[in-house]
């Protein structure tokens, strides 16, 4: 049976009418950047739960999760209405193997994400591990509309802190926005546009690639 600990909401941030970040204080076991936590609420006598990637780095005391509200999704809709001080159930044991400890060393690490799936990569990039193990880190975040490019200040700070190593390449598929690639990530890989923009090659001998996002992007990539 799933065990739970009670967490307390510290902050809820609304990015758009569907995109939210929730910060929670809870005593859980240590996790690796890239792993999943699980949140739950009791709704109409039933405990509804869902896994969410940690956005915060493992050394940061407040847990953070980035999520999108799902039509007819009882949990995400309720989470979007929470406020500081509210209680939420948190699974005490993190899960998942989408971590840098499972990635071999290489010259270049490519982090390809869409939508809310940038979360685990933000967690990784806020640790020392990628900067110690890879010469270059190419972070790709793809969204449909420019307004969905969340965590801009965090990404800008990371780019400043790791100016010699980090290359951030945003994609917007349904708008033409200056400073972004218009279209989908798989198409930009096939055409060579992504490599041109990064100034690096995706090479089997020098690169490791981590992909996190919608099933269509993952399948096509």
* Measured CA distances, 150 to 30, 33, 79, 205 (Å): 26, 19, 18, 33
Check: CB of residue 9 under 8 Å from CB of residue 20. Answer: no
Res 216: pLDDT: 80
How far apart are the C-alpha atoms of 86 and 27, rounded to whole Å? 16
Q: Which domains does the chain have, with CATH numbers?
A: 5-90 (2.40.30.10), 100-220 (3.40.50.80)
pLDDT along the chain (221 residues), means of 10: 94 98 99 98 96 98 98 93 98 98 98 98 99 99 98 98 99 96 97 98 97 86 76
Q: Which pLDDT score, from 0 to 100, does residue 218 have? A: 79
Q: Cβ(56)–Cβ(25) under 8 Å?
A: no
- pTM of the prediction? 0.96
DSSP 105: -
Contact 167, 199 (CB under 8 A): yes
pLDDT for res 10: 99
Alpha helices in 6-126 (DSSP H): 74-79, 119-125
CB-based contact 164:95 (threshold 8 Å): no
pLDDT at 96: 98
* pLDDT of res. 82: 98
Please give the pLDDT value at position 79: 98
3-state SS assignment for residue 15: coil
pLDDT for the residue 217: 81
pLDDT score, position 2:
83
| Interatomic CA distance for residues 184 and 150, integer angstroms | 18
The residue whose two tokens read 């809870």 is: 26
Question: Distances from the Cα of 31 to the Cαs of 1, 143, 183, in angstroms?
Answer: 21, 27, 34
Give the three-class secondary structure for 71: coil
């Amino acid at each position: 049976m799933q065990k739970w600990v009670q967490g307390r909401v510290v902050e809820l941030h609304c990015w758009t009418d569907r995109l939210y970040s929730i910060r929670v204080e809870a005593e859980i076991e240590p996790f690796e950047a890239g792993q999943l936590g699980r949140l739950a609420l009791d709704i109409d006598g039933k405990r509804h739960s869902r896994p969410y990637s940690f956005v915060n780095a493992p050394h940061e005391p407040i847990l953070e999760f980035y999520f999108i509200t799902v039509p007819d999704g009882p949990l995400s809709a309720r989470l979007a209405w929470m406020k500081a001080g509210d209680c939420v159930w948190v699974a005490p044991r993190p899960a998942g193997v989408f971590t840098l400890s499972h990635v071999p060393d290489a010259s270049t690490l490519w982090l390809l994400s869409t939508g809310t799936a940038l979360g685990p990569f933000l967690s990784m990039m806020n640790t020392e591990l990628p900067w110690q193990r890879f010469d270059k880190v190419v972070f790709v975040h793809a969204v449909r509309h420019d307004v969905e490019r969340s965590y801009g200040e965090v990404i800008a700070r990371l780019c400043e802190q790791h100016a010699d190593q980090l290359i951030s390449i945003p994609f917007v598929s349904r708008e033409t926005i200056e400073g972004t690639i218009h279209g989908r990530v798989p198409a930009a890989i096939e055409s060579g546009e992504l490599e041109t923009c990064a100034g690096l090659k995706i090479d089997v001998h020098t690169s490791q690639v981590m992909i996190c996002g919608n099933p269509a992007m993952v399948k096509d990539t």
